Structure 1
Amino acid sequence: MSVPLTVMLVAAEASGDALGAGLAAALKRRLGDGVRFVGVGGARMTAEGVASPFDIAELSILGWIEGLKAYGRVKRRVAETAALAARERPDVVVLIDSWGFTIRVAKAIRAAAPQTPLVKYVGPQVWASRPGRAKTLAAAVDHLLALYAFDAPWFEREGLKTTVVGSQALHVDMSAADPEGFRRARGIPEDAPLLLVLPGSRPAEIRLMTTVYEGAVTRLLAETPSLAVAVVAASTVADDVSTRIAAWPFRVHLVSEADKYSAMKAATVALATSGTVSTELALAGTPMVIGYRFGSVSYAIMKPFFTGKYATLFNHAAGAEIARELIQAAATPEKMAAEVGRLLADPAARAAQTAQQTAALDLMGRGGGNPSDVAADAVLGLMGARPR
Structure 2
Amino acid sequence: MGRKGGNALSSPLTIAVVAGEESGDILAADLIAELRDLTGRQIDLIGTGGEHLAKLGQRSLIDPEDISIKGIAAVLTSLPKLLNHIRRVSSAIVKARPDALLIVDSPDFTHRVARRVRAALPDLPVIDLVCPQVWAWRQWRAKEMASYIDHVLCLLPFEPEALARLEGPAATYVGHRLARLESLKSSFEVQKARQVGDEPTLLLLPGSRGRDAKVLLPRYKEAILLLEELGHRPRLVLPTVARIEPLVRELVADWPREVTILTGEQARHKAFASADIAVAASGTVTLELALGGLPFVSTYRIDKVAWWAHQFIPVWSTSLPNLVADRPIIPELHDFDGRPSNIARELARLLESEQARGAQKEGFAAIRDRMDVSEPPGRVGARMLMEVIESASAGRLGGSK
Normalized against structure 1, the TM-score is what? 0.90
Superposition map of 1:98-137 within 5 A: 98-137=106-145
1:57 alignment partner, SS class: helix
User: Retained in 2: the 8 A contact 1:200–1:272?
Assistant: yes
User: Retained in 2: the 8 A contact 1:138–1:155?
Assistant: no
Correspondence 1:169 to 2:178: yes
Q: Which residue, out of 248, 256, 261, partners 1:254? A: 261
User: Retained in 1: the 8 A contact 2:291–2:367?
Assistant: no
2:355 alignment partner, SS class: helix
Correspondence 1:376 to 2:382: yes
Shift in alpha-carbon separation, 1:316–1:76, aligned structure 2, 3 A: same
1:291 alignment partner, SS class: strand
Q: CA deviation at 1:225?
A: 4.5
Greater mean alpha carbon deviation, residues 303-312 or residues 262-271: 303-312
Shift in alpha-carbon separation, 1:313–1:300, aligned structure 2, 3 A: closer
Q: CA deviation at 1:128?
A: 2.1
Q: Which residue of 2 aligns with 1:285?
A: 293
Q: CA deviation at 1:256?
A: 2.8
1:140 alignment partner, SS class: coil
CA distance in 1: counterparts of 2:181 and 2:137, whole angstroms: 27
Q: CA deviation at 1:288?
A: 0.9
CA distance in 1: counterparts of 2:214 and 2:178, whole angstroms: 25
CA distance in 2: counterparts of 1:64 and 1:175, whole angstroms: 32
Correspondence 1:142 to 2:150: yes
Shift in alpha-carbon separation, 1:159–1:276, aligned structure 2, 3 A: closer
Which consecutive aligned stretches of 4+ in structure 1 deviate over 6 angstroms post-superposition? Answer: 175-179
Superposition map of 1:101-250 within 5 A: 101-157=109-165, 158-174=167-183, 191-250=198-257
Greater mean alpha carbon deviation, residues 23-32 or residues 47-56: 47-56
Q: Which residue of 2 aligns with 1:311?
A: 318
Shift in alpha-carbon separation, 1:147–1:32, aligned structure 2, 3 A: same
CA distance in 1: counterparts of 2:133 and 2:350, whole angstroms: 29
Structure 2, unaligned runs of 5 or more: 1-5, 189-195, 392-401
CA distance in 2: counterparts of 1:300 and 1:284, whole angstroms: 30
For 1:163, give the aligned amino acid.
Answer: T
Q: Which residue of 1 aligns with 2:88?
A: 80
Shift in alpha-carbon separation, 1:13–1:233, aligned structure 2, 3 A: closer
CA distance in 2: counterparts of 1:150 and 1:261, whole angstroms: 26
User: Retained in 2: the 8 A contact 1:41–1:50?
Assistant: yes
CA distance in 1: counterparts of 2:263 and 2:60, whole angstroms: 26
1:369 alignment partner, SS class: coil
Deviations, residues 161-181 of structure 1 (Å, cap 9, x unaligned): 1111111121223179799xx
Q: CA deviation at 1:34?
A: 4.7
CA distance in 1: counterparts of 2:305 and 2:256, whole angstroms: 31
Greater mean alpha carbon deviation, residues 27-36 or residues 328-337: 27-36
For 1:93, give the aligned amino acid.
Answer: L
Shift in alpha-carbon separation, 1:135–1:339, aligned structure 2, 3 A: same
CA distance in 1: counterparts of 2:232 and 2:83, whole angstroms: 51
Deviations, residues 275-327 of structure 1 (Å, cap 9, x unaligned): 111122122221111111123x2333432342221111120122221011111
User: Retained in 1: the 8 A contact 2:17–2:101?
Assistant: yes
Q: Which residue of 2 aligns with 1:183?
A: none
For 1:106, give the aligned amino acid.
Answer: A
Shift in alpha-carbon separation, 1:59–1:342, aligned structure 2, 3 A: same
2:145 alignment partner, SS class: helix
CA distance in 2: counterparts of 1:211 and 1:226, whole angstroms: 17
CA distance in 2: counterparts of 1:234 and 1:306, whole angstroms: 30
Shift in alpha-carbon separation, 1:312–1:361, aligned structure 2, 3 A: farther
2:384 alignment partner, SS class: helix
Shift in alpha-carbon separation, 1:47–1:192, aligned structure 2, 3 A: same
Structure 1, unaligned runs of 5 or more: 180-188
2:62 alignment partner, SS class: coil
Normalized against structure 2, the TM-score is what? 0.87
CA distance in 2: counterparts of 1:127 and 1:351, whole angstroms: 30
Q: Which residue of 2 aligns with 1:355?
A: 362
CA distance in 1: counterparts of 2:271 and 2:333, whole angstroms: 23
Shift in alpha-carbon separation, 1:251–1:86, aligned structure 2, 3 A: closer
For 2:258, give the aligned amino acid.
Answer: R
Q: Which residue of 2 aligns with 1:70?
A: 78
Deviations, residues 138-161 of structure 1 (Å, cap 9, x unaligned): 222111111122011222231511
Deviations, residues 36-76 of structure 1 (Å, cap 9, x unaligned): 33222122112112222222222122222221122121112
CA distance in 2: counterparts of 1:267 and 1:116, whole angstroms: 47
Correspondence 1:33 to 2:41: yes
Greater mean alpha carbon deviation, residues 155-164 or residues 140-149: 155-164
Deviations, residues 4-33 of structure 1 (Å, cap 9, x unaligned): 332221112222111111111111112233
CA distance in 2: counterparts of 1:178 and 1:27, whole angstroms: 29
Q: CA deviation at 1:191?
A: 4.1
Identity, in percent, stands at 32
Correspondence 1:24 to 2:32: yes
